[in-house]
Chain A
């Protein structure tokens, strides 16, 4: 069980991103260490990581993993130092900021957590994990403020109920995923943008055209063919790195995930979709529900994503679409149900 159940950590995306920049020679050690950590053998994982670091002390992937191991072991001082070091050496990576925030939040230092999450988001404006964590941190800060306002002792049971309640409500769209696993958004691969990535160059072979193929959605019993067709076409445009085609699927009143201006959001998406040499997006097990007299649809599916720099991620995604001139356009895009 993770020591920080209420704050989601990003792990997968970081490794996926850094896999591209690590020395190939150590890739296996890092992968093994990662597996060991996941299987509850942090000490063995640490030994592998230290082996990598002995040969290559600057290796960001190994350092990040070491930070994670220390975090899991409750060695927060060491973990903090490592993540802070990473933010200095790789200021454009959002994950170390995010994990620093997780550590500070676990210590009740929500103001610090807030600062790091905001930095994480400044680095990557549509970094969903940081947004979700920031939402939690704001809720905690709000709860503290209300405690002070109403002179409620947070140590008493009523206050605990109150906190739990706030968390549930704030979780909103994210609760389903929060309970499961670390969530990675499709947007997260941004970490591997060449311009911002660590200096080491990836020794990755260009992806084969076959990898770009979009996996067609299975017909859903509850589905509406039009809606599914739109979602598949959206995924296909994304996979083909057809940015204009991809952006055309978004309604004029699309709610940008961070509340940023449409132009900003488009710019970020354009960068992210252009950056990898190849992308493959899949839509699996879609469930469609149509509401508002057939004018609004909600589609929840497992989104698979991989690129030449991201090995593979899978996440639950929900698209809310609205019908406009006979076409379905995306109004909202979020992680979770």
Chain B
């Protein structure tokens, strides 16, 4: 004979303890309110949270119904199958733990799904705050429609839309990252790099193995900064998921950023090759929009003063914007200064026009990547190029530590 009811609290307790969710935490989690609206099509996180809440409310049938709806929407969603297994097991005996599979099953297989559950449930609980923006996106250029920001601690990719040069939150998605963690430095280290990158190509599904799912977008790792630090390796992509699974564990790739196929398709609509920034962090720093704006203005003013000094051929002032540790691709500050003084002195006039200006704070570093189209005209030479500088604020002054063409 089977007692159904006695098994429920065990399951709920196992899941809740696991997800560290406190139901006393906020008004959004009032049991009555959540039980009515948690459709499977609201995204897997919300749907999973709905399952959990039904379990918490001792509504085993509702929980089963919800997880079955989730499976109907995503037939290869392994985590949902695991929870369904638990809900069914709970009908015949008490559960000992979340993912109550027989002891003969390798533990790491279950641990992977537990880790995914934890990340997804956290994401359902910790929604981005509407007043907060990631610290990194100071200024988007007019033609950059979107920016992506990855948070490895939360296994999450956030999409921001460019609204007047400022980031505005659009959506966020569960991602799989490198199985050995973050901050890639070496070929084959199976880590995901941390830094400011952009997508460099669109590899359509037809040209890829099933492993990459709905498509792939390589990013420009190693970038100039990585190379300067001697980092190597290649082939870091944003890509989809093999057809036999809806998603992969949070830490499972060789360094790539892996999204569910539907999510990759949604994100890829917003991607512009060589334009869309992909900022990869281990823990997003969120800040008030006002604070970010003040930071942006300080840098924009310094940048404008640098441009004007150059136009004025005021070499002392112009070179004053370059830090002692400045390095271009092939010159240190002394060589750069000597060269620039000679060039500036040879001109009777200079005009520098700047457009498509973007400013992105580099995670873990103190510098900001400033990219722009530079239209340089002078009495004896003109050229147009895409330029990149790294600006750093030290002792209250903004200075350049790197400058080069893209």
- Chain A residues engaging chain B, CB cutoff 8 angstroms: 128, 131-132, 134-136, 138-139, 141-146, 148-152, 158, 161-162, 165-166, 169-170, 172-174, 255-259, 333-335
Contacts and interface: CB of A to CB of B under 8 A. Distances in A.
A259 B103 CA distance: 27
Contact of B86 (A135, A142, A152, A173): A142
A153 to B, nearest CB: 12
Interface of B: 1-6, 78-79, 81-82, 84-86, 88-89, 91-93, 99, 101-105, 109-110, 113, 244-245
Nearest to A170: B92
A56 B189 CA distance: 79
Nearest to A128: B1
A258 B102 contact: no
Contacts of B6: 255, 259
Contact of B89 (A136, A139, A162, A173): A139
- Main secondary structure on B side of the interface with A: loop
16 contacts: A128-B1, A135-B91, A139-B92, A142-B86, A143-B85, A149-B99, A149-B101, A150-B78, A150-B105, A150-B113, A166-B102, A169-B93, A169-B102, A174-B1, A259-B2, A259-B3
Contacts of B2: 131-132, 134-135, 257-259
A132 B105 CA distance: 25
A173 B245 CA distance: 37
B85 A145 contact: yes
A255 B81 CA distance: 30
Contacts of A169: 93, 102
B244 A151 contact: yes
Contacts of A151: 78, 109, 244-245
A145 B102 contact: no
B242 to A, nearest CB: 11
Nearest to A140: B88
A146 B85 contact: yes
Contacts of B79: 149
B248 to A, nearest CB: 11
A146 B106 CA distance: 12
A334 B1 contact: yes
B1 A138 contact: no
B104 A158 contact: yes
Contact of A152 (B88, B93, B99, B105): B105
A165 B102 contact: yes
A257 B88 contact: no
Contacts of A258: 1-2, 4
A161 B105 CA distance: 10
Nearest to A335: B1
A335 B1 CA distance: 7
Residue with the highest number of chain A CB atoms closer than 10 Å, among B5, B85, B86: B85
A44 to B, nearest CB: 37
Contact of A150 (B3, B92, B110): B110
A146 B101 contact: yes
Interface centre among B85, B88, B92, B101 (most CB of A within 10 A): B92
B84 A145 contact: yes
A142 B90 CA distance: 9
Contacts of A162: 101-102, 104-105
Interface-centre pick from B5, B82, B93 (highest chain A CB count, 10 A): B93
Contacts of B105: 146, 150, 152, 162
B197 to A, nearest CB: 32
A161 B104 contact: yes
A116 B110 CA distance: 32
Contacts of B99: 149
Contact of B88 (A139, A172, A334): A139
Contacts of B91: 134-135, 138
B170 to A, nearest CB: 31
Nearest to B91: A138
Q: Which residue among A134, A144, A149, A258 has the maximum number of chain B CB atoms within 10 Å of its CB? A: A149
Nearest to B89: A142
A255 B5 CA distance: 10
A141 B88 contact: yes
A267 B91 CA distance: 24
A237 B91 CA distance: 32
B1 A145 contact: no
A228 to B, nearest CB: 23
A148 B81 contact: yes
Contacts of B3: 255-256, 259
A128 B102 CA distance: 26
A189 B157 CA distance: 61
Contacts of A335: 1
B104 A145 contact: no
The list of the 5 closest CB pairs from A to B, nearest first, reads A145-B85, A149-B82, A142-B88, A149-B81, A148-B81
A173 B3 CA distance: 12
Contact of B101 (A138, A150, A333, A334): A150
Contacts of A256: 3
